[in-house]
Amino acid sequence: MHACEITIQILSDISSEIRRIWTKIHPKQPIEDIRISPSLERDKAVDICLKFYGENQLSPRLTLSEGYRNSLGLSIFLALANREDTREHPIILDDIVSSLDREHRGIIIDILRDELAERQVLLFTHDREWFGELRNRLNQRDWKFFTLQKWVAPENGIQLAPSHYTFEDAEALSRDHVKASGNATRVIMDTELPRAAEKLDLPMPYRLGVRNDYRTCTDFLNKFISEGKSRFKIKRNGEWCVYQDAIDTWEKAKELLIAWADRASHAGSLSVSEATELINVCRNALSCFNCPNCGKKVWKLDHPKYVRCDCGQIRWTT
């Protein structure tokens, strides 16, 4: 095959991949037939062409908004990254959603989760809201989340910190800083329980002013326990019954958080064995939101009257 024919074929393959990714980001949009073709101008290698409402457009800069141009740039970048000879390379994405609305930011997360699951990806963002959504929707067994620490001096270099504690962090702390382990465990529960409450539309009484934003994990556990007795169900032997194992686990977690985590935070003592039990019970309390059969969250699938896991063994009445 002639070199020119090879070039045209490569550009055609890349163009097809660009269109596939673009359609995922912007389905049913009046922008179509995106393609890369050899440029006739001497100072350019390729041109990016498209149709806008059926009319050929030779320059996206003259047609597309900033958000569309950024989406197009991302589609081109990912199309190139998906080529056979680049699939072993890491992908670096920096502030890719700065000009996208909430709906399209969610679609980008779908692409990160579905298209790049087997790739090494370094993703940077200044957007705290999107960072929180990434942390909620991406599998934390595959993704690690960090915050960039304030710059101090060249000799310190760039410093990263975990965006929030994990139970593994709490276990590591229990060996040398056992009180810090208790604090870390409570921070995890203070962070994760409100997320679960939002997913399940847990009704919490309104508090005046900023107190509404400073509820503790025990506040949420109390509500999960009381609401769960009528709303959290598990199917056993073909019959729906109260998910009593979850209720009992939440009761135990609340008891130990009050007895041991509070004591660790207020200059009291906490033994290594107590820290270990606290961590295990709190880990189990959060795992109650996952189906014991399919492993998916109880809010994986929506129904007009309830949310449920993927296989339908557990559900929460809405």
* Domain residue limits, the chain: 1-86, 90-157, 167-317
The three-class DSSP label of residue 315 is: strand
Reduced to 3 states (helix: H, G, I; strand: E, B; else coil), residue 152 is coil
Percent of the chain with pLDDT over 70: 93
Residue 228 has pLDDT above 80, yes or no: yes
3-class SS of residue 232? strand
- Nearest-angstrom CA–CA distance, 261 and 259: 6
Which of 1-10, 205-214, 262-271 comes out lowest in average pLDDT?
205-214
* This prediction's pTM: 0.54
pLDDT at 211 over 70: no
Let me know: does 16 contact 102? Beta carbons within 8 Å. Answer: no
58-66 mean pLDDT: 80
pLDDT at 116 over 60: yes
Q: Which residues on neighbouring strands pair with residue 160, listed in sequence order?
A: 148
Q: Give the model confidence (pLDDT) of 256-291 as tens digits.
A: 999 888 777 666 678 899 999 999 999 999 999 999
Question: What is the DSSP secondary structure assignment for residue 290, as one 8-state letter?
Answer: B
